[in-house]
Structure 1
Amino acid sequence: MAYIDEMREVAVPALEVQAAHQRLAQWGGHKDKVLAISVIGDSYSAGQDFYLNQLTQRLAREFGFAGPGYVGFNHGAALGGTNIKYTRSSEKYFGGDWDVSSLGQASPDSRTITGHAGAYLEVDSNETAAIDTSISQARLLYLGNGKANELRYRWGSSDPWRSLTLAGQGVQAVQLADVPAGAAWALRLEVVEGAPTLFGLWMSNDRGGIRVSKLAASGAASADFYKSDGQWQVQWKAVVAKIPADAYLIMLGGNDQGFGVKPKDYLERMKGLARMIREVHPMASINVIMRQDTTRSSAYPMSDYAQVLEPWARSQNIAYASLQCTFGPDFKRYASNGPTPMIGPDNIHPIPASGGRLIADFFYRLIVDGAPGPRSECGAALK
């Protein structure tokens, strides 16, 4: 087995950072380039059926598919449900004696899982015309407890088991061997001995294109992705450093609104999150996106969060965009009982075929064309 060294932090001036659309514009006819995108968010992003699967499929069709990226053991992959299948809600993919942590852990998708003897999980591939699911490497990310924990794994039901020892202290990554050559595989991991704590997998192929890593958690707020505790930050940065990223798309705030978090407290956590990202991936562009309002009752409208987030983001060379501009100013119009329904009956989540499709198109344009400027017509109209 091959253990992966820690990534060193490098200070780089923010002005040297290229946005995603600038990187894509430089590709030209090259087919070997990769744009690695990490998506941080709540259930809008964690539930890939809302928009993230549509977005990833569209980008892959146009620019190529460079592999699944991060497949967290909380919510799985960006292409979950269609091409990279894993879910904790099905015994086919997740069973036995697992302890699932609460939200807010120093983990890419805010949770960890700790297994005991007999616990198992499975991640399956499903190739389609647009997505070739063959991979060239797979790394298991875990939190070492200073003891030797024994796992076994195989890439298919007819393949032999391979033993895997998870050793060390703190954040670790280990390369999985015998990656299959074809697109059809079903990776099964089982705990044999000990109590290993796992984050997820990072997977890639040898082709160029888009690679989207889903670092999102249902129910998460800004406080789940940033804490002032120094040890928490050290662990979060150590594991996120093992997930290559050229661009971050961050859409948090919906659950802050639901929990009644004050906008100034939300802003401080967003500042902390951006600071950690820049320490780990200084060359990655950061994009913060404000979600649209809904008819849900709340102490603060989303515009209150936007009023503190936008000026700070622009002052830090962080791209800012608002979904309110895409949905329009009248949230009653796109409510579930409105004339153009785009939000479901829970008054929170988008209807995949309408609101989800609109969000996917919004993110596509953000990645391909770039964020609008501060004096955009929409921004002026909403102030």
Structure 2
Amino acid sequence: MKSTWRWFGPADTVTLEKIVQAGVSGIVTSLHHIPTGDVWPVDEVVKRKQEIESAGLVWDVIESIPLSNDLKKMTGDWQTHLENYKQSIRNVAEAGVNVVCYNFMPVVDWTRTNLMYKLKNQAHALRFDIADFAAYDVYILQRDNARSDYDDDVLVRAEQRLQTMTEEEKVLLEKNIIAGLPGGEGSYDRESIRTEIEAFIALGEDGFRDNLFHFLKEVIPVAEEVGVLMCIHPDDPPFSLFGLPRVVSTAEDARKILGAVPSVSNGLTLCAGSFGARGDNDLVAMAREFGSHIHFVHLRNVTREADGSFYEAEHLGGDNDMVGLIGALLSEEKERAGQGRDDIEIAMRPDHGHLMGEEVGQTGVNPGYSYVGRLKGLAELHGVIHTLESMQAKGAAIK
């Protein structure tokens, strides 16, 4: 597997020099300054690529070329945005970057209710709490018919939470949910998010999935022509928020996506934390079933709770079988080598590290993207990978 690191560009507090020291060879990044829906110019891609290469690294994965809400809804300027997207795919291929991670989440990107959840060891993790989310959805945002989306027990706890929250805590909760997190399209206020939510709910799950399939039928042939591997990121969390349709949450969703446009360019980002936030997603089985279409991997772990809440665990802790997942991915790489594929190595990155040590309280640290926390996770993952690769080299079966 090829170790990579998420970098948020020149303004990132984690510099390319620090990333080299972390022991990776690849970078995962985006052109965050290009507005969503616009074409990525070749010269801008080349400029960023050269900056990365000057540090001795390689731009392995684009995460992401974002899709506008207009394109996801297929309203407004969606046709212009679609043509721009196709041109961007051609341009990144011309610049020599050929793996593109993207997502098709409606309205909100990856969502957490608490960005500073204190663990027993005093480090801080990201957390999604269903009662806190319901408190916001039902009582603060006051979305129409929101109550019908939650169990009675969750509603009771949500009301109790609301009664104990200070005004400052309510503002922070809203900021965490709708103000935008790293890699997302942008932020909302209450009125704008209500409007977007209503528009996507009106599409329904089938209509929203049809829009995704239309996007794939337009874009995948272009990607295949220029040698770009597209890999869709799962919903995070992998269930409905705000009553919105979700179409990349389960193994069955993945089967439908890959079957809609059969092509090696139509692939998956296997995000262990996103898919793994559902107990009914068997990550090892998914890696085996979809292995030939997995072009990128996010390795992180979560601890799930019975009501759907979860928090980001240590990379080798939590409820996901990280050792089994890595073993399945290494087996897939061995199979690719036997097939003579060019893309034998699967790029992976450690994801959502804990905030710890001297970085606690520092300004400019993106939530989930601390240096020390990810470095700790990367070291743990490297230990597993090295051990399994050594066993594989000695002829042991890696299952």
User: Which TM bucket (shorter chain)?
Assistant: 0.3 to 0.5
Superposition TM-score, scaled by structure 2 size = 0.35
Flag the structure with more relative contact order, 1 or 2, with Cα contacts below 8 A and sequence separation at least 6. Answer: 1
Superposition TM-score, scaled by structure 1 size = 0.36
Bigger helix fraction: 2
